[in-house]
Amino acid sequence: MRTTWRIGRLFGIEVNIDSSWLIIFGLVTWSLARSYFPAQYPTWDNWLHWTIGVATSILFFASVLAHELTHSLVAIRQGETVRGITLFIFGGVAEITEEHKQPSKEFLMALAGPLSSLVISAVFTLLWFLSRNLVEPISALALYLAMINGSLAIFNLIPGFPLDGGRVLRAVIWSLTDNLRLATRTASRIGQAVAYLFIFSGIWQIFNGAWLNGLWIAFIGWFLNNAAITGYRQVVMRDMLREVKVEDLKAPTFEVVRPNLTLQQLVDDYVLSRREHAYPVVEDDQLQGIICLHDVKAVPREQWGETQVSQVMTPWERLVTVSAGDDGNTVLSRFGTHNVHQLPIVEGRRLTGIVRRSDVISHLQLRSELGS
């Protein structure tokens, strides 16, 4: 089971750690403290190898975080929303919405990450230069971080999608052809070629005895290949949804409830018989909020009889809505950005329908079965 821990906020962006990150943190720290530093600096004692190993490892992951943070801050400046940054086994990932995408924006956003790694590398090179004849452990740490951040920048600039370099290439092709789908297809094909190169060189290394390294490289290749395929599929899906209107996605039927209904009545008369998880709450033709199973479960069962829907629903002020004129992409983005499962369709404050995640999925499935 994978778990994610929220460790704090930086510049208003949520920073998370996925449990898989512990594996890579352990591996990096261990190989620095037990292999790299002992080989390079055999005169240090064991304690110093570990101290500098742990410090270097922490600073390395802080550098990865800074790389993702740079992507995110540039994205925010361009009007995107960033849901958070998560460190995981293959590094870091920033969850950035794609509502205001344009080639020039994507170009800057993608380039910002590798540039930040280059800057970090330069800072550690300077630190290494200043400390090289004075404090050996500090200069050793600085040298390693200068090299690893430099490699990080170069690796990320490989022009295969979904790597940053692939995004840069995609932005260039996109602005030249005005065709995002073609641009993504090209960049992800190169991405897949790079991924296979990683897989084969990994396998080659495994057969040559460097099995741990080989396994790792093959693993990264596998991950890149998946990401390239998924990235292209997402663009195809967005392309499809651009032509779709909210009207085509909305649920064929939906039930509304009154605000003064008790939770017990809601469960007995609606949830169990209609098997829906969420209900818009309407009074005097005005949308008051949404009540979902989740809100009900937060109240102890003994209190269901006397608690009214209006006391526990998500009120109108905090609702995420769409209007009939919006397209499928807006719907998809709202689902993603706000992590909700249904969106009321409103005209002013009047409810005209509802669109659920499952409606979007079944629409896409039908379209792909019909081959359009």
Q: Which residues bind Zn ion (CB under 5 A)?
A: 113, 156, 164
The sign of the torsion formed by the CA atoms of 38, 40, 45, 51 equals negative
Task: Give 279-334 as a DSSP string.
Answer: EEEEETTEEEEEEEHHHHHTS-GGGTTT-BHHHHSEEGGG---B-TT-BHHHHHHH
Q: Which is nearer to Zn ion, 165 or 280 (CB)?
A: 165
Q: Please say whether the beta carbons of 256 and 281 come within 8 A.
A: yes
Q: How far is the CB of 209 from Zn ion (least distance, A)?
A: 32
Question: Residue holding tokens 């951040």?
Answer: 149
Instruction: Report, in Å, the least distance between residue 164 CB and Zn ion.
Output: 4
**Which lies closer to Zn ion via its Cβ, residue 158 or residue 355?**
158
Minimum CB distance to Zn ion smaller for 93 or for 197: 93
Shorter beta-carbon distance to Zn ion: residue 66 or 293: 66
Asked if 191 and 161 count as a contact pair (C-beta separation under 8 A), the reply is: yes
> How do strand 82-88 and strand 91-96 relate by DSSP bridges?
antiparallel
CA distance 277 to 326: 24
Which of residues 18 and 164 has its CB atom nearest to Zn ion in the complex? Answer: 164
Q: Least distance to Zn ion from the beta carbon of 167, Å?
A: 8
- Residues in the chain, total: 372
User: Using CA atoms, how far apart are residues 350 and 231, in angstroms rounded to an integer?
Assistant: 37
Minimum distance, C-beta of residue 264 to Zn ion, in the bound complex (Å): 51
**Closest to Zn ion by CB, 228 or 345:** 228
Cα separation, 70 vs 32, whole angstroms? 26
CA pair distance 141, 63, nearest whole angstrom: 13
Question: Which stretches of the chain are DSSP H helices?
Answer: 21-31, 37-40, 46-77, 103-131, 136-156, 164-177, 180-207, 211-242, 246-249, 263-266, 272-274, 293-297, 309-312, 328-338, 357-369
Beta bridge partners of 22: none
Least distance in angstroms from the C-beta of 113 to Zn ion? 3
Decide whether 156 or 288 has the Cβ nearer to Zn ion.
156
For Zn ion, which residue has the nearest CB? 113
| Least distance between Zn ion and beta carbon 22 (Å) | 22
**Residue placing its CB nearer to Zn ion in the complex, 80 or 164:** 164
Please, what is the minimum distance in Å from the beta carbon of residue 70 to Zn ion? 8
Decide if 90 contacts 152 (C-beta within 8 A).
no
From the CB of 132, what's the least distance to Zn ion, in Å? 30
